[in-house]
Structures are given as structure tokens and as C-alpha cells.
Amino acid sequence: MKTVMLILIETNTAQVKRLLIFYFLISFIQLKAQSDEQALERALYNLPDVQFKNVTKPRDKYLTYMLEIKQPLDHQHPENGYFYQSALLMHKGFSKPVVMETEGYELYPGGNELEKILDANDIDIEFRYFGKSRPDSLQWQYLTFAQVTADLHHINQLLKTIYSGKFVTTGISRGGQTSIYYRYYYPNDVDVTVPYVAPLPNNLEDKRIFQFLDTMGSPACRERIFNFQKFLLTHENECLEKLKWYEKGTNQTYDYFDGLGKVFEIGVLEYPFAFWQTGFIPCDSVPSNNLVDDYLDHFIKIPGIDWMSDKGLEQWAAHNYMARTEMGYYGYDITRFKNYLHYISGENPSAALAPKYLSYKPFDTTFEHNVHAWLNEKGNNMLYIYGGRDTWSACRVIVSDRVNSKSFMVPNANHFQARIRNMQPDMQQDFAESLTKLLNVDVDLAALKNLR
């Protein structure tokens, strides 16, 4: 009986010890979180021209704050007005690395791969003139990459008064472009830049796109895509009648194009670009049964037309304005389609569809030329990620042998799939080792396991 009691006492004592350890551990974590929260809020409060709000949810693992940062419209002449730029800060620790996620458009909260594999703080920064980061009056002369990157530099300098770790920039697509331009204007702000699927067009009509579309996939696949486009154009009247119902059902207007005719033809020309850039389907899924409804359903799913609606053009106005003025873009080669087009004529139309109320100077290649020259000679500590089937990879950065940067092409990945988590193990390891070498911090690839 004494032996049994002794075992029970020892068992209970062990349980109590475990409970006490668990209790103190939880208490320590809570106290540290409270301490971090107080210290972070004091630091944010002391930043000039920054408003902040704690938006941490009960189940959130880390403190999260919405920041509104006062930015001059013109960083050279602050007296010309200002706006408030939105940014979402996720805090993990004052000495941990900081990932600056440079969006190309609105905020897209939720973290990113770099933040996870580096166990880093993350700040997601909205692009000026998008989302809530808009002045009362959109003065388009201040929408330049010199001003955009000055916004980022200002945020970087503010954060460096709070965080002591390494700084990394990353972004996807236009956000990736922005991270490259930011490095060009402010090469010493961050330690490493990781742009995803970031094209750098060399002109308003970058003809490398045409070469990509003329060689991507098998000859049979390219012919199937062309026949799909040709069928739609040779059945244009029937398609337009059906699209009128789509227009009515989606409550969209297309006054910019004076109706659906030109919209339809641009969408057909856009199809191969969209098929390779964002499509997930194999080539044999492209309709070939000569049934108009099947062709039109597929057409709506791949390029669609909503992005050309008056509402869509308004939403994308800042993007298309910058494509027309500094960034460059792509056009549509109409050589094989001239006999089938009724609403498009003349030169190849541009895909940068800026609203009519915008005025801009003719595109100048000087900016892009200067960026490419700088990347070739001084563009160090850049790790580029591209997708093998993504149309925008035609305009990818070709890494010079005069810098230490590297490029990772994820085979058969489109614009949404070209990610670290989708790399083959040997490429993943190469990327992790490259990042470790440049940053001298641990990289935990296991953190990607639960990402999709």
C-alpha cells in the first residue's frame, strides 16, 4: 500500500511540475508579448508623421499594426502636398530581420515566403495611387518611380530606428519590379532583394514577348491556340450578341472602347499571353469542337474582358499610366489576324490601356536603359525567381557575370506558381544557400511546408 501511494505522489508531483513549467512558460510568453507591444507602440508613437492602429486578432501569432505614413506628393518639394500611405506591419522581434514587401498595387496582407523562412518581421507596403494610398487629387506628374521609391526609402529609414536586423525587399510581378527599381535608386537601403516574376520591359512594345509566344509549347499547341483565336474572330457577330448578355449580367460598361467590338478583339489578341502567364490548363483543353458557347466560356475564363471595362480601366489607371511613361509593356502582333479584325486597324495596339482623360509624353526608353545598365554592373545581392511558362519571363532580368546575383527559373511554372515552395529540392537548397550566404542568417525551408 505504501509503495502504491509513493508512486501516486511521485506521479502527481511530476504532473504538477509539468503544469507549473507550462504555466510559467505561458506567463513568460504573455509578459514578453505585452512588453513587446508596449515597446513597439512607444517606438511607433515616436515616429514622425505615422499613425498606427493595433489590428492583431485573438488567434494571431504575432502583433500586427496598420500604419498610415504621411508622404509628400513630391519628395523634392514637400510643400506641394501630401498623402497617407498604408502599410501593414507584422512584428516578431526587434533584432530579427525585416522584409519590406513592395506591392505593385493594393495591400495584399498575409505575409510572404521570405518572412516565413527568415522568421522575419514583415511590412507590406501599398503602392502610391492605389487602394487607400491616394491623395485627394491625383496629380499624375508625381506618379514616377523616383517618387515611388522615395516613399519606400522614407519607410525604410523610419523602420531602421526600431529594428536592428538585416533588411530584405521582395515583391511579386509589378511589386517585384518595384523592388528592383527601389534597389536602383537606393542601393544601400537593404541587404538583399528577392523579386518574383518581375519583368523589366525594354520598350512600350517589348518584342521579346512575340518571340516567347512564337516558341512556347509545341508547334501543335501553338497552332491550336491560333485556331481558337481565329474561330472566335470568324464568329465575331455571334460572340458579340452573347457578350451583350454578359455585359448586362455583370453590370459593366465599355464606353472607353465605344462598345464591345474592340473589347472582344483585344481580348482575343490577349488570349495567348494570358494562357501562358496565368493559365493552369494543358493545351489539349483549349476548345476545338467548333461550338461557340464552349469557345466563349473558355475565353471568359482565361483573358476575360472585365479588365477592359470602364471600372477596370479606372482601377488600373495608375499601372497603365506608368507603363506608358516609364515602365514599358507589351503590344499585340496583329500580322496573322489582319483579315479577321473589324474594330482594330493600323499599328499593333498596346496592352497598356490608359483612360482617355490621362495625358502623357511619348514613351522614353532612357529609364529602363539606365536600370539595365546599373543591374549589369552594380546589381548585386539580387535573387530573381521566374516561371518557365510565364509570358512575363520573356522580359526577365538576365544576370550579368559581373555581379553576384542569381536567377532561378521554376520549370513549367506560371505567374502564380513561380515560388520557392514549388522549386525542386535541389533548386530550393541552392536558393536557401545563396540567401544564407548573402544575409548570414538562418534560412528555414521547413516553414514553407504549410503554404499553398
Q: Under a CB-based contact definition with an 8 Å cutoff, are residues 64 and 91 in contact?
A: yes
At residue 242, does pLDDT exceed 90? Answer: yes
pLDDT in tens, 30-60: 445 568 899 999 999 999 999 999 999 998 9
What phi and psi values does residue 152 have, to the nearest 5 degrees? -65, -40
Cell of 128: 502610391
Closest CA to 179 of 273, 114, 274: 114
Q: Residues 376-396: what's their mean pLDDT?
A: 98
**CA pair distance 161, 154, nearest whole angstrom:** 12
Q: How many CB atoms lie within 10 A of CB 432?
A: 17
pLDDT in tens, 274-316: 999 987 789 999 999 999 999 999 999 999 999 999 999 999 9
Closest CA to 384 of 402, 394, 396, 369: 396
Higher pLDDT, residue 20 or 172: 172
pLDDT in tens, 105-134: 999 888 899 999 999 999 999 999 999 999
pLDDT value for 17: 55
Residues of each domain in the chain carrying CATH 3.40.50.1820: 37-202+365-448
Average pLDDT in the chain: 92
Give the confidence band of 23 by pLDDT, cuts at 50, 70, 90.
Answer: very low
> Terminal CA-to-CA distance of the chain, rounded, Å?
57
Closest CA to 98 of 125, 73, 129, 76: 125
Give the confidence band of 431 by pLDDT, cuts at 50, 70, 90.
Answer: very high
pLDDT value for 109: 83
The pTM of this model reads 0.91
346: left (phi over 0), alpha (psi -120 to 50) or beta: left
Give the confidence band of 28 by pLDDT, cuts at 50, 70, 90.
Answer: very low
DSSP 189-234: S-SEEEEES----SSSS-THHHHHHHHSS-HHHHHHHHHHHHHHHH
At residue 261, does pLDDT exceed 70? Answer: yes
Give the CATH fold of the 37-202+365-448 domain: Rossmann fold (3.40.50)
Q: Under a CB-based contact definition with an 8 Å cutoff, are residues 401 and 380 in contact?
A: no
At residue 25, does pLDDT exceed 70? Answer: no
Task: Give 90's DSSP letter.
Answer: E
Q: How many CB atoms lie within 10 A of CB 400?
A: 14
